[in-house]
């Protein structure tokens, strides 16, 4: 039981580190949103490509891992799949927004107009808002719950008869 608690603490630290890395990607996304009107067409296209790559290479695999490990643990600990239902729904929304951003960015490559640029920036802003809110929820509610569970398991192991 003690090793399980230690493993849980390690997992929480990994999640915290990954969230820091995701926040770095969000910072780049926010910079693109703020600077979009001042960027050249090629600079904005490059930033859009980096944003979609970041979403598909970093955020979405992280979300899949959370659903498979962290959310499964939460649902098991509480005895209800409703514990993580909203978080899973947010992941689905983020996946949809990442796909929409990619679709709009393809349109921007094929036919560059001010309207398409506006749609791209709006899609990036929605993605930023949803991911930021999602990370905040996990950090405020999920991680402390996991840490508390690991702490209880460690204390139970320490006082268990040998």
Q: Do residues 126 and 98 touch, judged by C-beta distance below 8 A?
A: no
pLDDT given for residue 4 in this prediction: 43
Mean pLDDT per 10-residue section of the chain, whose length is 162 residues = 57 87 95 92 89 94 93 89 95 94 82 85 95 95 80 45 50
Q: Do residues 123 and 153 touch, judged by C-beta distance below 8 A?
A: no
pTM of the model: 0.83
80 SS3 class: coil
Residues 6+ apart with CB under 8 A from 74: 83, 84, 142, 145, 146
Domain limits, the chain: 2-159
């Amino acid at each position: 039981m003690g090793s399980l608690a230690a493993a849980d603490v390690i997992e929480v630290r990994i999640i915290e580190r990954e969230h820091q890395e995701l926040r770095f990607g969000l910072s780049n996304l926010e910079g693109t949103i703020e600077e979009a009107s001042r960027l050249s067409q090629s600079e904005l296209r490059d930033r859009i490509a980096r944003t979609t790559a970041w979403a598909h290479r970093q955020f979405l695999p992280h979300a899949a891992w959370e659903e498979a490990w962290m959310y499964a643990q939460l649902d098991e600990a509480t005895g209800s799949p409703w514990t993580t239902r909203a978080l899973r729904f947010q992941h689905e929304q983020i996946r949809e927004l990442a796909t929409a951003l990619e679709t709009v960015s393809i349109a921007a490559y094929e036919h560059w107009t001010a309207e398409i640029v506006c749609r791209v920036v709006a899609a990036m802003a929605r993605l930023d808002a949803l991911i930021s809110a999602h990370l905040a929820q996990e950090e405020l509610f999920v991680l402390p719950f996991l840490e508390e569970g690991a702490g209880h398991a460690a204390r139970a192991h320490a006082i268990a008869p040998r």
